[in-house]
């Protein structure tokens, strides 16, 4: 998911060096009732953003469970970034 989002972002802005910072991340996890560890699923995405952007990749973050997602995908991530 993270690499796909970075590729889409690069396609739209031309160069990831234009990213000033990651502002907000919303991770939605397709989960069964009773599953409560949604943040651990989104940790990999957050870790990747820090690996790519350094401290500028640390963002406000929400991780929530959903009863379903489109086409039964396991995870959907929304990211807001500031561009130079």
Residue 57, pLDDT > 90, answer yes
Do the Cβ atoms of 22 and 57 come closer than 8 Å? Answer: yes
- Are 79 and 25 in contact by the 8 Å Cβ rule? The answer is yes
In eight-state DSSP terms, residue 72 is: G
Provide the Cα torsion 7, 10, 15, 20; round to 10°: -100
pLDDT band at 34 (very low <50, low <70, confident <90, very high): very high
pLDDT at 1 over 90: no
Domain extent for 52: 2-83
- Sheet with 60-66, edge to edge strand ranges: 60-66, 19-30, 75-83
Count of domains for the chain: 1
CA distance 49 to 59: 9
- Here the CATH number for the domain that contains residue 43 is 3.30.1330.40
Share of the chain above pLDDT 90, in %: 99
Please tell me the pTM assigned to this model. 0.91
Mean pLDDT over each residue of the chain, to the nearest integer: 97
Helix (H) or strand (E) holding 47: helix 38-53
């Amino acid at each position: 998911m993270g690499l796909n989002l970075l590729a889409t972002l690069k396609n739209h802005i031309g160069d990831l060096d234009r990213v000033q910072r990651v502002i907000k991340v919303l991770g939605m996890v397709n989960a069964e009732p009773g599953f409560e560890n949604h943040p651990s699923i989104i940790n990999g995405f957050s870790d990747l953003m820090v690996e790519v952007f350094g401290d500028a990749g640390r963002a406000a973050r929400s991780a929530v469970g959903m009863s379903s997602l489109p086409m039964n995908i396991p995870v959907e991530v929304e990211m807001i970034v500031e561009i130079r």
